[in-house]
Amino acid sequence: MRCHKNLESQIKRAKNQYIKSETLKKDKFVPKCRELAYVTNTGTDENPSNTVSVIDTVTDKVIDTIKVGNAPIGLAITPNGKKVYVANRDDNSVSVINTTNNKVIDTITVGETPILVAITPDGTRAYVGNGEETTQESSISVIDTNSNTVTDDISVRFFPIGIAIGNTPFGTRAYVAITPQGSITVIDANPHSPMYNKEIADIPVGVAPIDVAITPDGTTVYVTNVGDDTVSAIDTGTNFVTNIPVGVGPAGVGIGNTPFGMRAFVTNSEDDSISVIDADPNSPTFNQVVDTIKKKVGDSPSDVAFTVNGRKAYVPNNLDNTVSVIDTLTNKIIKKIKVGNVPNLVAVGRVCR
């Protein structure tokens, strides 16, 4: 009997060693650092999704699907690539994803109907636009990313949607699209300023602004105006606005350093096209549409995010449940990736295990 038990023990030990060995072999094929694209799948009332798809930008394949809150829309990845913050519209919360294992590690209660989220350049705070509170006033919830607690609620006008944060010539600023007002609220996001988390300017733009992006150098903010088919380019040093005609129903905007220089890609949701704007202030075609991508764009493109080297752009398509991959050297769609139901927004970041 004793010999039999010893044999069983040896077999069990051998199996465990084999499993461990195979796991190590698999891990060797997974790079320590990867650039990943995170896509919210908002779903519908009839067919909810409530997930985030994770795409490996080297293979352009979905490598994980993460369950989050109800109707996730906006998301942002911290500059160090360690966390993703996801705004869940229908349960007034923000899910926090640990990117090392793609697990939700925290859920934060914010204001009513959170839609979009942006993170400060130093990664210490996340600003969440709460779309509906009253018809008179809404708010921006400020989250401390170290403690994952709400540290401030900033009153803004009704229905903020798009939000972008960057280091401008005048310091760290948050630019918030107030859709019904047709304006951009500017908030001082510098914690050392006496006007910290207070509105310091209001900039009229086009009709029904919904998305906002800021250039890496902080000099220009681009705003999609879905109501008049334009993009407003705001000079952050002067607050001067240049309105640029684009396609029909401009929804999302993303900015990247492509092989041709800094470009703003604008998704036109109603005519299934992407307008490419020259975002280089030193270029003779600055703030002009220099290309339009039409062929093989998905149904109702909604957002854009670039890889760090600017060679690829990722575009969720609301109505065909795919993400289009654009080669920015040719401005052609090179792949479509199936994701969840009603993919909405996308964030790309370098993630290390």
Structure tokens at 195: 């006007």
The stretch 315-329 carries a mean pLDDT of: 97
Q: What is the mean pLDDT of the chain?
A: 93
CB 88 within 8 A of CB 104: no
Residue that is written with structure tokens 């038990």 in the block: 5
The secondary element (H helix, E strand) that includes residue 167 is: strand 160-168
In sign, the C-alpha dihedral spanning 59, 63, 67, 68 is negative
Of 117, 52, 139, give the one whose Cα is nearest residue 316. Answer: 52
Q: Identify the architecture of domain 33-218+306-352 in CATH.
A: 7 Propeller (2.130)
CB 63 within 8 A of CB 54: yes
The pLDDT value given to residue 160: 94
The 10s digit of each residue's pLDDT in 182-230 is 999 999 999 999 999 999 999 999 999 999 999 999 999 999 999 999 9
118-147 exposure pattern, b = at least 16 Cβ within 10 A, e = fewer: bbbeebebbbbbbbebeeeebbbbbbebee
Compute the radius of gyration of the chain from its Cα atoms. 22
More confident residue, 4 or 205: 205
The 10s digit of each residue's pLDDT in 256-294 is 999 999 999 999 999 999 999 999 999 999 999 999 999
Residue 2 has pLDDT above 50, yes or no: no
The 10s digit of each residue's pLDDT in 42-87 is 999 888 889 999 999 999 999 999 999 999 999 999 999 999 999 9
CB 244 within 8 A of CB 288: yes
Beta bridge partners of 94: 87, 108
Angstrom distance (rounded) from CA 228 to CA 207: 6
Residue 307 has pLDDT above 70, yes or no: yes
- 58 CA to centre of own chain: 19
Type of residue at 62: V
Of 307, 281, 350, 344, give the one whose Cα is nearest residue 78. Answer: 350
Structure tokens at 272: 């299934």
Neighbouring CB atoms inside 10 A of 213's CB total: 27
Which pTM does this prediction carry? Answer: 0.90
Q: What count of Cα atoms within 13 Å lies in the side-chain half-sphere of residue 317?
A: 22
Per 3-state DSSP, the chain is made up of helix, strand and coil in percentages (nearest 5) of 10, 55, 35
Of 246, 140, 245, 145, give the one whose Cα is nearest residue 186. Answer: 140
No. of helices (H) and no. of strands (E), the chain: 1, 28
Angstrom distance (rounded) from CA 46 to CA 193: 47
